[in-house]
Amino acid sequence: MRIGIITNNDQILGSFIQPEILSNHHLIHFDSEEKYINNTQEIDVLFVDDQLIEYQDVKSTSKNYLITDQDLYSYFIKAKKAGYLGFILKSDQLENELLKVINQFNVKPVENPESDFSYLIKGKSKAIQKVFTVLEKATSSNINVNIVGETGTGKELIAQAVHQNSSRKHQNFVAINVASIPKELIESELFGYEEGAFTGASTARKGKFEEANYGSIFLDEIGELPLELQTKLLRVLQEREVSRIGGNEVVSLDLRIITATHKNLLNEVNNGRFREDLYYRLLGLTIELPPLRERKEDIIPLSNYFLEDYSNKNPSVKLKQLSEASKLKLMNYYFPGNIRQLRAVIELATTLSEGNQISDVDLLLEKVEIKKDLLEKERTLEEYNIEIIEYFLKKYKGKVNYVRDVLKISKSKIYQLIKDDKITR
């Protein structure tokens, strides 16, 4: 069973760190409201410390219990109306009360949590089974892991699976997408800062490395890290310690490094965009994720899972079924956006469809086709170039950096074509 706890109180968290809970269940800890809101993991039973978060702010499909020192009947009634199943008072009996709540569900414990990937990763195709085989090797040690795959293939889920099936599973899993953070903020996000370190630093703040200490840090799109910060990251990895910006205190680090990228990092090294020494420092076990088009037998099971999941998270939405025509349409589609696109398509179709069945008309799939007829019509070399660039811009949702890396051309070339109205982004 997956047990969630929202608290930043070490004493309350310590009540969960007991053998009877840890040996039979997965414990998922959130030390802030933000981390809970951004959580993508399924949770069976959720315990909420009302000193950290207002109970009415927790929107959850799991079984919720309140941990409180408010021994007031009126308070309990309000929380009951908000969907809470029960309450646990903060006292010296907290550990015993937690066990009573957890044991009442009589859920069969996970028999082999070290190799339980199915609750995070769905699929039985040969392609995904190969991924499971490599995952087994990754979870049996603390080796660095590098996850490679197209956008939308589920790289963060794989990173979570590595963490949650490892010896660090009861510590923090901290994920950060390097590509989504402005260049000038990456250093402070990764390494933290002290009060007054720069304009606007009114309070000290931990960086992601400190937050992940003793657990795992997931650096998504590591290939987008600016060269000047690659030097500092290399030093942190070599010395296993970090100092906040504007501070002198050194924090020793004991954590696992998991990275992901859609790029070929060795090509980035050869092109001078990624440090060779950092590449070899990060080099560990590589997990290659297949695109959805290479695991077609998983498309319908994944679709059914997304249908059920969407219905569970939206009680007013009835569980719907796929028609045979809709299944055929899904199976014949290319899915450039992979699993992320499939989920979005299924959820939209559920909203648009009438009745209890989803038809092929309800599936709004973008017309992104492979250019098999590229050479059938005579064109100039420039026209060929424009068509190829347009195709990849559509495939990668207008992300110029991705197209630059795939086609090995400069961004300025692409932007010039856009500026001249020869292609649309």
Q: Residue 107's pLDDT is what?
A: 47
- Tell whether the model's pLDDT for residue 212 goes beyond 90: yes
Q: Residue 338's pLDDT is what?
A: 92
| Contact by Cβ (8 Å): 258, 141 | no
Could you tell me which of 279, 260, 292, 289 has the C-alpha nearest to residue 134? 289
Q: Report residue 288: phi and psi, to 5°.
A: -95, 120
End-to-end CA distance of the chain: 46
CA distance 208 to 192: 7
Instruction: Let me know if 202 is exposed, middle or buried by CB neighbors in 10 A (0-12, 13-18, 19+).
Output: exposed
Q: Which amino acid is at 162?
A: V
Q: What is the pLDDT of residues 243-264, one digit of tens each?
A: 999 998 999 999 999 999 988 8
Q: Which amino acid is at 163?
A: H
Q: What is the pLDDT of residues 132-167, one digit of tens each?
A: 889 988 888 888 999 999 889 999 999 999 998 888
Q: Which amino acid is at 179?
A: A
Global confidence as pTM: 0.61
Specify which residues 241 forms β-bridges with: 252
Q: Which amino acid is at 261?
A: T
> Cβ neighbours of residue 40 under 8 Å, at least 6 residues apart?
156, 157, 160
Q: Which amino acid is at 148?
A: V
Question: What does the pLDDT average to over 300-327?
Answer: 91
Q: Residue 57's pLDDT is what?
A: 63
Q: What is the pLDDT of residues 356-397, one digit of tens each?
A: 999 999 998 876 554 445 555 556 777 777 888 888 887 777
Distances (CA, A) of 291 to 155, 303, 309: 11, 15, 22
Catalogue the E-assigned strands of 337-396: 357-358
